[in-house]
Structure 1
Amino acid sequence: MALNGLYPTSDFAEDQPMPHFILTTHVVHRTLPFGAFISSVIPLSSRFIFRRAAAQTLPVSTMLLRSNSTGFFVSGIIGLGITFGRMMGRDDIEWQDRSWRLLRNSGQTQLDDFSASGMALGAIVGTVQRGSLPLWRGFAGGAGLGSLAGTIAFVTWKMSSSKKEGK
């Protein structure tokens, strides 16, 4: 069963339950892979391109988990700001319409499912592989990296399946 199948949906947009929750969690969820990308590029470039001495002291996995744990929370806060900044003063029907369309868009729900699965797996792996980092850093950093991995897996899968179909 798809993760988006857990959200209640209606036949009509104006009857959509929980629109604020659905739209907010969706936008926050979509900002996480972007935050993970930036949170990965910065320490990796510091280590491998600029060869900074401070970046050479930690293992790459610890460095990525530490950076991505911060990026996880920062991008989540940015996602909240984006949602409420865009939807401030909007009527409930607009929240309902946007959340209803998200749940009815098969490509978007597939992406969300891939990303959420990657985030769950990444949180587990990050927790196990955290090394000397606190538990929360391993969990959050792994979840962020997992959301990015799930998003990349979805894009790769979509591109390869469209090439097979000749599109």
Structure 2
Amino acid sequence: MSRFWKHSPYAEDQPYPHAILATHVLFRGFQSGSGIGPFVGIARYLLLRRRSLPGPLLPMILRSTGVGAAIGTGVSAVGLMARMWGREEIEWRDRSWRLLENKGQVEVDTWGYLGVIIGVSTLFATRQLRGVGWKTAVGSMGWGSTCGVVGYMIYRHGVKGGKWKDET
């Protein structure tokens, strides 16, 4: 989404600073929770396996990822309010401007959003939408986002060596 926001030449002229910063922080919380969720799902699966009650592994991981994404988004919303409470407008504008100015930040956002789209598309492609709850749907978006960020890291830091075209 960072590519779609208008980016002004100066921080004090940056439009929509609250929306830009909130979108960024909430999406990072979503991604953080999505990154933790699979580990919880696997641990839960292993613990329930001892009692012979686990069920299939993949749905359990997706549900845990969905819950983790929801919790991460909520925690980041509270953190954003706590951090920015009482701040002046110029501070909002400066932070949002710096986010849009950072090429790496914009690129990781793009890869993360593409991952969300792929995660949702995969859910639709399986044609097993009947009976899929919000946890599984959000989990597939979160898993896609996490895979998008991993893809970004492999591409930018592995293939490109962390360099941009204009760098030598």
Shorter-normalised TM-score: what interval? 0.7 to 0.9
2:65 paired residue among 61, 64, 68: 68
State the identity as a percent.
31
CA separation of 1:54 and 1:107: change in aligned 2, threshold 3 A: farther
- How many aligned positions are there? 163
Secondary structure in structure 2 of the residue aligned to 1:56 = coil
Counterpart check, 1:99 vs 2:96:
yes
Provide the TM-score with structure 2 as the length reference.
0.85
CA separation of 1:164 and 1:104: change in aligned 2, threshold 3 A: closer
Q: How does 1:35-50 map to 2 (within 5 A)?
A: 35-48=33-46
Alignment check: 8 A CA contact 2:3 2:110 kept: no
Tell me by how many angstroms 1:143 deviates: 0.8
Tell me by how many angstroms 1:50 deviates: 7.4
In structure 1, what is the equivalent of residue 15 of structure 2?
17
Query: Which whole-Å CA distance do the structure 2 matches of 1:23 and 1:55 have between them?
Result: 43
In structure 2, what is the equivalent of residue 162 of structure 1?
161
CA separation of 1:103 and 1:21: change in aligned 2, threshold 3 A: same
The answer for unaligned runs of 5 or more in structure 1 is none
CA separation of 1:28 and 1:164: change in aligned 2, threshold 3 A: closer
CA separation of 1:144 and 1:118: change in aligned 2, threshold 3 A: same
CA separation of 1:52 and 1:100: change in aligned 2, threshold 3 A: farther
Q: What is the RMSD of the two structures over their aligned residues, measured on CA atoms?
A: 2.5
Provide the TM-score with structure 1 as the length reference.
0.85
In structure 1, what is the equivalent of residue 75 of structure 2?
78
Query: Which whole-Å CA distance do the structure 2 matches of 1:15 and 1:6 have between them?
Result: 17
Alignment check: 8 A CA contact 1:122 1:146 kept: yes
Tell me by how many angstroms 1:127 deviates: 4.5
